[in-house]
Chain A
Amino acid sequence: MTHGSHPPRVIGVEGLSRVEGEGSLRVEVHDGTVIDVALEIFEPPRYFEALLVGRHFTEAPDITARICGICPVAYQMSACAAMEDACGVTVDERVNRLRRLLYCGEWIQSHALHIYLLHAPDFLGCADAVELAQLDRGAVERGLQIKRTGNLVMETVGGRAVHPVNVRVGGFYRAPDPASVTALIEPLRRARDAALATVEWVAGFDFPDVTGDYRFVALRDGGRYAIEGGRPASSEGLDVSPVEFADLVVEEHVARSTALHARLGGHDPYLTGPLARYALNVGGLSPLAAEAAVRAGLGPVCTNPFRSIVVRAVELVFACEEALSLAESYEPPDPPAAAVTPRPGVGTGVTEAPRGLLFHQYEIDGSGTIRWARIVPPTSQNQLTIEADLRRVAQGALELGDDELQWRCEQSVRNHDPCISCAAHFLDVTVVPS
C-alpha cells in the first residue's frame, strides 16, 4: 500500500454487536481516502455441508435448522424444497399455504427483533433496546408485542418458535386444528396495526444521505410477494430457475472469513434481502403495506441502505396482513404431508429468509442418503456488498470523530441484518484513520 507520511486512521470493532453471530469490522483511511474495508467473519466453522453427508434426506430440515436460531424456518423450507425437487414431488396447495403462514411468523419475529432490538437503537443514539425503553418504553413494548405474535404463529404451526418440530419433507407431521389457527387472527390484527405504527415511527428517523449502487437479487413468485418459493431474478433482468441460479453463484474462500463470498457468474457482487425483494416485488405488496410504503416516502426502489429499516417495517406490515389472510382462509391439508420416496438425483431449493435469499442443494442416492450438500446463506451472498457499503458510508462520514465514525460504520453493517451464525463465521468491525 502506498500512502503519505501520516499514520493511517483505523476504525475497528472487534465483536460487532446487535448482529446474529460473531464478526468484526475494520476500515482503514489514508490521507482522507478509505483504502481498505473488511467485514471479518470469525464465527467458528461448523461444517454443516460435511456433517450432512451420510445422513438421511428426511433429516436435512431439522439438522440445517440448527445453522441459525433466528431463521430456522428458512432453513427448513429451503431444505424441504430441495429434497422435494430431488424426489420429483409437488406438494398440495394447502401445504404450501401453511408453509407460507409459518414463514410469515418467522418474518414477523425476525423483522421485529431487528427493527426494535438491533437496529432502531442506532438511529436514536442508544446502546441497546433497554436504554431505548428508558426514552420510549411504549415503542419497545410495541416491538416486543409484534415479535411475540410472530413467535405465536411459529408455535401454533411449527410447534416451537426456535427450531420448530412440525416440519417434514413433504409438508407437516400434523395440520394445526382450525381453532388454534383462528386464535391467531386477533393477535395478528393487533400486530398489523402495531406494524403500521412501526412504519410511521421509523420513517421519522434521520437517515444519512447515502445512495448505494446495488445489483438486487430476489425471488419472483408469479406477481405475489415472494417468500417460500419462486424464480431467482435480478434488477438487471436475470430470470432463471433455482438450479440455474445455483450454477451461476460462485463462492470464493478468502483468508479473512470463515464465510464464503458469493458472486454471480464468478465476478458480480449482489445484494439480497428486504431492499432487493422490495425492488423486485413491490407490485405484490398487500394494499395496506403498499399504502404504508407510499406514506413513508419510499419510491418503487429504495437505494439508501439506512432506509432499509423502513422497507423492513413495510415487509412487517405485509407479513402480518398475509398471515392474517392465510389464517382467515385456513383449511387443514389432508393428508398433512405428501409421500416422498427417495430416488437418486440432485435437488435445489431457494426461499426468502428474512435477511435474504437462502439456497440449498443436495445429491441423494436411491436409499435417501445424502451424498453431498451445498448451503448458501444470505450473508455470504451479501458480504461483498456490505463491504462496498461500508467503504461508501465511511468515505462520506470522515468528518466524524472516531467514536461516531465507528458507530456509523457499525450501523452500516447492521443495515443489512447480517446473520453471521448463518454465514458460519464471525464479523469484526474496526475503523483505522490516518
Chain B
Amino acid sequence: MTGPTESAPHDGASSAPADPDRRPTLAVWKFASCDGCQLSLLDCEDELLSLADAVNIAHFTEMSRATVSGPYDVSLVEGSITTPADARRIKQIRESSRRLVTIGACATAGGIQGLRNFAASGEYARTVYAHPEYITSLDTSTAIAEHVDVDFELHGCPIDRLQLLEVITATLAGRRPVIAGHSVCQECKGRGTVCLLVSQGIACLGPVTRTGCGALCPTVGRGCFGCFGPAETTNTPSLAAQLRRQGMAPVEMSRLFRTFNASAPAFLEESVAQGGSLPVARGVAVHPDGPEEDS
C-alpha cells in the first residue's frame, strides 16, 4: 500500500465540491461476480444522492446508460478474472484509473467460482454446457491483484456498505481507508456474544476470519463461515486442531475453508493441509504467500 501521505487524485476532494465540473470521477466495473457488491453502492439509500452530488459517477453500467470516458480518479472493481478478454480488459481499466480499489471476495480472492482452480481442466464446462466449445473461459478464476496493481482491497462476500463509503471517502481524500483487519472472534468478545465453538462445539471460522460483517453469524447461533476471508494474522492450524478434537472430519474442514475465499492464501493452505486437492497450475501461479497487495 502506498502511504497515507500520498497526494490525492484531487486535493481537497473530501470537502463537498460545489462546482459539478470539478467533481472527482468514480467508475464501477464488473467481472465474474453476482453483482451484490456493486449493489451495496445502490443500497446506500441515505447517501446515494449526496454521493452523486459530490462525485461524478462516470461509469456504472448497472445504474446508468450514460458513460464518460476515462481517465477516472477512482475505479471500483467487482468480480474475478475468468476469461482471456477480461484479463485484457482489467489492464485497460488499470491504465485509465488513478486509484483502483477491488471490492468483494471475487475480486480479492477469486470468489466461489475459484473452486474451478482445483478441478481438472475443462471439467466444469463439460458439466454445465452441452457445447463447451462455445464457451471461452479460463480454467482459473483469479483475483484482480494477480493481474494488475491494486491500491486497496476491500474484503467481504458481500462487502459492507459502510466500509465501502469509508473506502470511497478516504481514497478521494488521499488517505488510507480505516478498515479493521482483526478477527470476527475479537468482534464477538467485544459484543459479549457467547463463544459457540467453546460453549456448544459449533464449528466456527471466527478466530481466523476478518471482521467487517459485525459478527453476524454467531449472533444468530451459527458458526462463522468465512465471508470476509482471512484476518490479517491467523493461526489456522490451531483452529483446525480444535475442530478435529471436536470430531470434525478433514473433508468437512476442507470444505469449511474452501468457499468464497478458497484461494486466499491462509484458507488455501489449511484446506490443502486437511487433504483438499491442490490447485491445478495452468500458467497462473499460486503463490503460497499471496500476491503483493500493491506495488
Contact = CB atoms under 8 A, between A and B. Distances in A.
A173 B259 CA distance: 20
A127 B66 contact: yes
A148 B222 contact: no
Interface string A9-25: 00000011111111000
Contact of A50 (B64, B66, B128): B128
A21 B35 contact: yes
A15 B116 CA distance: 26
Contacts of A163: 36, 157-158, 227
B234 interface: no
Interface residues of A, number: 67
Interface of B: 30-40, 42-43, 45-46, 48-49, 52, 57, 61-66, 82-83, 86, 111-113, 115-116, 119, 123-125, 127-131, 134-135, 137, 141, 157-158, 213, 216-217, 219-222, 225, 227, 252, 255, 259-260
Contact of B220 (A59, A144, A166): A166
Contacts of A392: none
Given A17-B61, A66-B260, A44 B43 contact: no
Which 7 pairs of residues, A with B, have the shortest CB-CB distance? A69-B36, A128-B64, A127-B66, A50-B127, A47-B124, A50-B124, A46-B113
Nearest to B141: A46
B74 to A, nearest CB: 17
8 contacts: A18-B62, A44-B32, A46-B113, A56-B255, A66-B260, A127-B66, A163-B227, A255-B131
Contacts of A258: 135
Given A44-B83, A59-B255, A173-B221, A127 B64 contact: yes
B121 to A, nearest CB: 13
B252 to A, nearest CB: 8
A113 interface: yes
A334 interface: no
A421 B63 contact: no
Contacts of A410: 65
Nearest to B65: A17
Nearest to B112: A66
A55 B65 CA distance: 39
Given A141-B49, A162-B39, A44 B64 contact: no
A160 B128 contact: no
B141 to A, nearest CB: 8
